[in-house]
Structure 1
Amino acid sequence: MARTPSLNVEKLSELGTERLARLVLDEAARSAPFRKLVNAALAATKGPDAVAKLIDKRLSALERARSFIDWEKVKPFQQDLAATVGSIVGELAPASPAMAVDRLLRFLSTSESVFERIDDSRGQVQELYAGMVESIGDITARIAAPDKEYLADRIMAALGDNSYGYLLAVSRAVADHLDKPALRRWDEQLAGRQQKLDAATKGDRDWKGQALARQVRDVRQVMAEKLGDLDGLIALEASKPEHAQDTIAIAERLLEAGRLKEALDWIRRKSRPVIRYMRMSDLADGTGTREPGTVARSMVEARIIEAQGDKPAAQKLRWTCFEATLDAGALREYVERLGDFEEFDTLDRAFDVASGSKQRYLALEFFLKWPRLDRAARLVIEHRRNWEGRHYDFLAPAAEILEHERPAAATVLYRALLDDILARAKSNAYGAGARHLARLDALAPAAAADLRLAGIDPHAAYRASLRKTHGRKAGFWAVAPKV
């Protein structure tokens, strides 16, 4: 049964007005942010103009400020900003949504100057600014139609030159609450701005100008989406450099619209990505980098081909993608389209493909995600001499997943992790090694039978070998669990 909160409106009301007022005064004297909230609440009793005047004073001070804010002052600074935002959302918005949105936009426009003079390594202040975007969307829904007519102008005036992406974020937040004529007017304004920015930055190294031009184009795509203008959306995407085009998203839109030939053309467009990535399993297997969206591209192409009536070709593409990537999602899409009673044989074949893969870390990742912990355990034990403990970011979570149902496999991985720490005498990791040994101690009874069947040394023998090989590592044994 949930406990009743010790503080609630009913209980506080019993204190009486005068006593509550004294408590508020005492806290206001101690906390500047709380004092600002109280002042805003008092101003609200006089109407929205009084609250707006108070908030404008605070915003003017924020706009004028130039001093650098060290990390130890970030939290009180963030609390001070949060009090102002709270005043706008909590006191001004209920009385005048339009005035509240104006102040939030003005607040967002200070982001560049604020971020340049603050050590916000933990992202506390940036998180506050990002939260304002959602508030703007919520409050916009309550603005009367006549006030919405000029909202785009106010947004552009406040954020048109902002390089932190808030123009795009705000446009997404408010677009659902604007009618089509307002969206069209906004798009016309954006088109003119985009033309000027493109002309001014063509062939230039004005990175900020180019970033603004890209942002304006992205906002225009938001307008096109809300207006249902698919051709306009595609034209804007086609105007981007090849490496920046989201060909997968456009192909999906065309597929939804039934424009299959165009969808296939977009999904098969080749572009050289600027950024590639590696997963932990790739690093462990030494397989190199991946191109973002490879699996998603194949899955969308398969859906397009299937929509064209060639299901066998679509299924072949899905299976080929699975074989190349061992992606669980690709296999699921393949299996979902099989006929009755075909699933079981197909899954056995897929699991055999994974088990036989040279990329054993990728295969283990696949079995853990599917999940097939029995297959994962078999893979771990079959390759028990090949797991490298230095890949602890991958192996430690895998061991934790296997602990309950497959303790012998978890034991193999924990031993690999501990052996690596001790073999390399990583004294700063002795604490982690001690925790691994504690898990091995705990798993020993449950793992004993399967370890024996696999021909793996029992826990007592393993512990003895540790003491024999690494007995002089006093730093480890000082923290290791005692038998």
Structure 2
Amino acid sequence: MAGKSLNKKNLAALGAEVLAELLMDAVKGDAARQRRVRMALSPEQSPKEAAADIRKRLAQIRRAKSWISARAQRTLAKELNGLIDVILNRVASEDVGLGFDLLWSLLQLAPDIHARTDDSNGTIGGVMDAAMDAIRTLAPGLDRDAEPLADQVFEALQDNGYGEFDGVIPALSEALGDQGLTALRVRAETAMDAPVTLDDTEYFGILMSAERRLEMAKDRHDRTLRMILSDIADAQGDVDAWLSQYSAQQLTYHTIAPDAARRLLKAGRPEEALRIMETCIASEGGKDRAFDTPEVDSAHFACLEALGEEDNLRSATWTRFETRLCAETLRRYLSRLPDFDDDEALLNARTHVRTHPDLLQGLIFCVSWPDAGLAADLILSRHAELDGNTYELLTPTSELLKAEHPVAATLVWRSMITFALQNNRAKRYRHAVRHLASCAQADMAITDCGVFQSHEAFVNDLRRTHPRKHAFWDKVDH
């Protein structure tokens, strides 16, 4: 006899007593599920009773020593996120201080948990970020003496090896207030002047000289303190204090200058911001900027815009487009042109893309814009330059082309198929088979292949060149 479907409506019809019995049977012997059920019952508890259960669970996690597998890690992360929700929405809704203490205790679990699992995917780090976000939410209602709270924050940041307390000063700035932030700054400045000890070098092991270990410990120590002082300066809106943490040379670095410029702009000092960015760009000018630094250009544009330097802004945006073929920057450039000038500028931009030495960069632009016609022109004229290994770009390119430019789309698919077979990339064969099927479908819409092989000729060449790639052909012929 067929039973009823297992759904919420049918379960509800069983009644509370039957469901309670079923639930007790379901969680028997499963500690994790039992904890979830107990937490679900916590609305009936006082905040102190709920907090006691949470503290008990946090203590169990702290005492555990076994390795946490990937599966167990996901389960633990889900449980911890659930605890954060209970702390924030149940405990702290009645007792902010108690909720804060529990979140702080949860953050302090990070070193022990990280030591027992591989968090390369950032799952546990994400939990700690969520706990810090919850602290940020509670901070306006937190009633703590400012100086002891500052001491608590300072001590936490001295042993922040996994970054679990990153962002704690911005999160608690309102609770710290000027008194707490000032106390925190005094502690950091005092510590900056203090010498490191041999105890501070234990982190670096024993495979280097004591002198080198002291040097590295001092650098690590000072970096932490500079971060504290920078966060305090931001919290107090003191841009000069923030700038004072860096030397004139450091303020030319592309990793620091944009942050400095943004702070100066916020403080209403655009001329200084522009000088910093111009110095940064000049210092980078003689270097091979193989990688893009959009944050530098973005901060530079913001400075020029704040100062109303329209001609220089247009020139700077066009230069970035010419160099990087950045679609977003071209839109910004065109939006600042007088009426009717943008059409001619767009034609010039398309011509520049066609002749750009990096075909793949040109295709990135076409996909980002998007411009299927330009992408087709590039591929038809420069198909020999296609790199079939760049499937992350070629796949969306083929999707852009297939509706209106089947010949160009076919050339893209062929490049990926050929690469996979020539380089024996067996894991890509199933994708190559799919690409070959796409070629066959596109062939039905092609009336003239021009100088390119027909689909039939391409497949015949593949069979002659790669007759032994049975893992591929078996899938094709299936």
* Class of the TM-score when normalised by the shorter of the 2 chains: 0.7 to 0.9
Find 2:184's aligned residue among 183, 189, 193.
Answer: 189
* 1:290-439 paired onto structure 2 within 5 Å: 290-293=290-293, 295-305=294-304, 307-308=306-307, 310-439=309-438
Q: CA deviation at 1:36?
A: 1.9
What residue is the counterpart of 1:281 in the other structure? none
190-199 or 384-393, larger mean C-alpha shift: 190-199
What letter matches 1:54 in structure 2? D
* 1:138-157 paired onto structure 2 within 5 Å: 138-141=137-140, 143=141, 145=143, 151-157=149-155
Q: CA deviation at 1:345?
A: 0.3
Work out whether 1:460 is the aligned partner of 2:469. no
TM-score of the superposition, structure 1-length normalised? 0.81
Q: CA deviation at 1:336?
A: 1.7
* 1:18-57 paired onto structure 2 within 5 Å: 18-40=17-39, 45-57=44-56
Matched residue SS, 2:290: coil
Cα distance in structure 2, aligned partners of 1:393 and 1:320: 27
Decide whether aligned partners of structure 1 residues 93 and 467 sit closer, same or farther in structure 2, where only a CA change above 3 A counts. Answer: same
CA contact (8 A) 1:224 1:232 kept: yes
Decide whether aligned partners of structure 1 residues 253 and 381 sit closer, same or farther in structure 2, where only a CA change above 3 A counts. Answer: same
What letter matches 1:300 in structure 2? A
Cα distance in structure 1, aligned partners of 2:259 and 2:396: 33
Matched residue SS, 1:164: coil
Render the CA deviation track for 1:413-436: whole Å, top value 9, x for unaligned.
111111222333444432222121
Find 2:263's aligned residue among 239, 250, 253.
Answer: 253
What residue is the counterpart of 2:95 in the other structure? 96
What residue is the counterpart of 1:284 in the other structure? none
Q: CA deviation at 1:292?
A: 4.7
What residue is the counterpart of 1:7 in the other structure? 8
73-82 or 343-352, larger mean C-alpha shift: 73-82
Computed over aligned residues only, the root mean square deviation of the Cα atoms, in angstroms, reads 3.5
CA contact (8 A) 1:93 1:100 kept: yes
What residue is the counterpart of 1:162 in the other structure? 160
Cα distance in structure 1, aligned partners of 2:228 and 2:127: 22
Cα distance in structure 1, aligned partners of 2:229 and 2:357: 47
Cα distance in structure 1, aligned partners of 2:437 and 2:108: 54
Q: CA deviation at 1:114?
A: 1.7
Q: CA deviation at 1:267?
A: 0.7
Cα distance in structure 2, aligned partners of 1:423 and 1:474: 14
Find 1:476's aligned residue among 469, 472, 478.
Answer: 472
CA contact (8 A) 1:187 1:220 kept: no
Matched residue SS, 1:236: coil
CA contact (8 A) 1:260 1:308 kept: yes
CA contact (8 A) 2:379 2:411 kept: yes
308-317 or 341-350, larger mean C-alpha shift: 308-317
Decide whether aligned partners of structure 1 residues 19 and 306 sit closer, same or farther in structure 2, where only a CA change above 3 A counts. Answer: closer
Decide whether aligned partners of structure 1 residues 368 and 33 sit closer, same or farther in structure 2, where only a CA change above 3 A counts. Answer: same
Render the CA deviation track for 1:56-108: whole Å, top value 9, x for unaligned.
23333333334443556434544554554455345423332221111111111
Cα distance in structure 2, aligned partners of 1:144 and 1:472: 71
What residue is the counterpart of 1:280 in the other structure? none
Cα distance in structure 2, aligned partners of 1:316 and 1:44: 62
CA contact (8 A) 2:327 2:365 kept: yes
Q: Which runs of 5+ in 2 are unaligned?
A: 1-5, 198-210
Cα distance in structure 2, aligned partners of 1:151 and 1:404: 62
What letter matches 2:125 in structure 1? Q
CA contact (8 A) 2:265 2:303 kept: yes
Cα distance in structure 1, aligned partners of 2:14 and 2:109: 41
What letter matches 1:457 in structure 2? Q
What letter matches 1:466 in structure 2? L
Q: CA deviation at 1:440?
A: 0.7
Render the CA deviation track for 1:102-128: whole Å, top value 9, x for unaligned.
111111112112201223454433332
Q: CA deviation at 1:48?
A: 2.2
Render the CA deviation track for 1:365-397: whole Å, top value 9, x for unaligned.
112211111011110111122213233333233
Cα distance in structure 1, aligned partners of 2:101 and 2:143: 15
Find 2:169's aligned residue among 168, 171, 174.
Answer: 171
What letter matches 2:169 in structure 1? S
Cα distance in structure 2, aligned partners of 1:40 and 1:92: 12
Matched residue SS, 2:435: helix
Find 1:221's aligned residue among 213, 230, 236.
Answer: 230
Q: How many residues align?
A: 455
